[in-house]
């Protein structure tokens, strides 16, 4: 293990406060001479590229991990990038951040919101990018089997899950559970993997991706361990017994992280003051990153066949629902014996029946509020790649919901980037 003695003040050493940033004067905009026109009506994407390792701390505090390493998320939580972006926007206006934090009437709040409210801004993401193209979380309905033939060459095969025809008695009630479309012994979900746009399109069309469209998470970045020790604030001397271990990530040379932004106020935002690219500090220890604005990638879409009454919604980012895994607005449907047989709700004003879902392990997200100088509340989120199978009484309802929901966001905290969905067939 390489030993990098990172300096932390004793009051703050249990927390890498940059893990989920609010507003920090550390981000530096590029000179205004490099400014480029910014669309005030269309969404645009921010692409962040690492200039060093990054550390986006997991939800456990440093003083609770014992001898284990504190690992890093990749891609980072949305609030980390949102904090860097809002800081950059404020710095372009030469904001007085101390006044911004304490003055509820500060004029900057009309443009970028308050520390706990985004005001007019809305975000989607974040998401990894390779060679400038967005990658998408692999839907958990896709299962892969990888074997080697007699010559040692890898053979990859895919199948996918869909709701079974007959209900099964289980802890949820008497409901339809997901089954494989094609029996494929040894197949495993593509949990934590990523797809190209072509791969996602194939899944939304009701099929499976090609092996070349599946991007293993381990190919996007490598892990680098670090060893640190807390220091006395006044003397800068090490504190006995306060060693800690972290694991940074180093993205590949062709890998970046993106997030999509919309909501500038065209009446107040001085476009000519804002640059098209610049530098920022991200995450724990304020590691450097280069950012650049660009047009967002178009989201792959599918066309529902005529008369089709079924729809699959796939989460492209983590989502927070008030009922755990169950999307907001849905409630159990029961039979005469009180057994749950499904879930009824509305999407885009159209009645929908949730048949079953394929969800992954909950992800926990918290972080640190720089503006409030305190930890953020910890929430359990439904992971990206989770899929929900819906049925409709009318084909026009299925088509209307597909058009309304595709690319939109559902659940709580949608302005903060979460809950984007893609509509597909099943």
Q: How confident is the model at residue 38 (pLDDT cuts 50, 70, 90)?
A: very low
Residues 304 and 264: their CA atoms lie apart, in Å, by: 34
pLDDT digits (tens, 9 = 90+) for 292-320: 998 899 999 999 999 999 999 999 999 99
Sequence ranges of the domains in the chain = 7-132+220-294, 136-169+177-215, 310-424
Residues 137 and 381: their CA atoms lie apart, in Å, by: 15
pTM for the full model?
Answer: 0.85
Residues 21 and 116: their CA atoms lie apart, in Å, by: 11
| CA-closest candidate to residue 411, choices 345, 326, 342, 349 | 326
Partners of 157 in beta bridges? 145
Helix (H) or strand (E) holding 97: helix 97-102
pLDDT digits (tens, 9 = 90+) for 45-92: 999 999 999 998 887 666 655 556 788 889 999 999 999 999 988 888
Residues 393 and 388: their CA atoms lie apart, in Å, by: 17
Helix (H, G, I), strand (E, B) or coil at 199: helix
Please spell the DSSP secondary structure of 48-71, one letter per residue. Answer: EEESS-B--B-SS-GGGSTTS-B-
pLDDT digits (tens, 9 = 90+) for 231-248: 898 898 988 878 888 889
Measured on CA atoms in the order 382, 300, 73, 222, is the torsion positive or negative?
positive
Token pair of 180, please?
């494989």
Average pLDDT over residues 6-35: 38
Averaged pLDDT of the chain: 86
- Angle CA(347)–CA(327)–CA(42) in degrees, nearest 5? 60
Q: Does domain 310-424 have CATH number 3.30.1600.10?
A: no
- Cβ atoms of 200 and 140 within 8 Å: the answer is no
Could you tell me the fold of the domain covering 7-132+220-294? Alpha-Beta Plaits (3.30.70)
At 374 the pLDDT is 72
At 315 the pLDDT is 98
| CA-closest candidate to residue 130, choices 43, 250, 248, 47 | 47
- Cβ atoms of 70 and 247 within 8 Å: the answer is yes
Q: Could you tell me which residues come within 8 angstroms of residue 288 by beta carbon, excluding any fewer than 6 positions away?
A: 50, 51, 52, 279, 280, 281, 282
Helix (H, G, I), strand (E, B) or coil at 217: helix
- Cβ atoms of 3 and 66 within 8 Å: the answer is no
- Cβ atoms of 2 and 225 within 8 Å: the answer is yes
Dihedral (Cα; 322, 325, 328, 333), 10-degree rounding: -120
């Amino acid at each position: 293990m390489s030993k990098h003695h990172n300096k932390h003040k004793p009051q703050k050493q249990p927390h890498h406060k940059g893990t989920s940033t609010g507003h920090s004067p550390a981000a530096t905009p590029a000179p205004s001479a490099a400014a480029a026109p910014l669309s005030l009506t269309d969404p645009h994407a921010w692409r962040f590229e690492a200039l060093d390792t990054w550390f986006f701390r997991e939800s456990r505090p440093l003083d609770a991990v014992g001898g284990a390493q504190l690992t890093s998320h990749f891609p980072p939580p949305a609030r980390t990038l949102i904090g860097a972006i809002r800081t950059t926007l404020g710095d372009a206006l030469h904001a007085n951040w101390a006044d911004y934090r304490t003055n509820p009437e500060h004029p900057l709040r009309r443009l970028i919101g308050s520390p706990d409210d985004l005001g007019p801004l809305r975000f989607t993401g974040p998401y990894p990018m390779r060679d400038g193209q967005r990658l998408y979380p692999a839907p958990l309905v896709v299962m892969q089997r990888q074997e080697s033939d007699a010559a040692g060459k890898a053979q990859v095969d895919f199948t996918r899950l869909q709701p079974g025809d007959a209900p099964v008695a289980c802890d949820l009630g008497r409901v339809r559970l997901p089954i494989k479309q094609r029996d494929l012994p040894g197949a495993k979900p593509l949990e934590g993997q990523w797809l190209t746009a072509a791969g996602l399109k194939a899944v939304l069309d009701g099929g499976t991706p090609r092996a070349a469209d599946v991007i293993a998470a381990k190919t996007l970045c490598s892990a680098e361990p670090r060893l640190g020790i807390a220091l006395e604030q006044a003397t800068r001397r090490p504190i006995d017994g306060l060693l800690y271990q972290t694991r940074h990530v180093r993205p590949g040379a062709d890998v970046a992280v993106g997030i999509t932004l919309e909501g500038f106020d065209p009446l107040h935002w001085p476009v000519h003051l804002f640059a098209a690219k610049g530098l920022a500090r991200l995450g724990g220890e304020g590691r450097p990153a280069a950012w650049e604005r660009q047009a967002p990638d178009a989201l792959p879409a599918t066309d529902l066949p005529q008369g089709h009454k079924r729809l699959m919604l796939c989460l492209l980012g983590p989502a927070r629902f008030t009922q755990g895994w169950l999307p907001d607005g849905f409630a159990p449907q029961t039979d005469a014996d009180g057994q749950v047989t499904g879930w009824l709700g509305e999407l885009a004003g159209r009645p929908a029946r949730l048949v079953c879902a394929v969800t992954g392990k909950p992800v926990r997200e918290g972080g640190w509020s720089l503006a409030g100088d305190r930890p953020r509340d910890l929430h359990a989120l439904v992971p990206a790649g989770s899929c929900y199978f819906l049925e409709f009484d009318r084909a026009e309802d299925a088509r209307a919901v597909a058009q309304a929901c595709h690319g939109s966001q559902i659940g709580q905290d949608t302005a903060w980037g979460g809950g984007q969905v893609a509509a597909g067939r099943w």
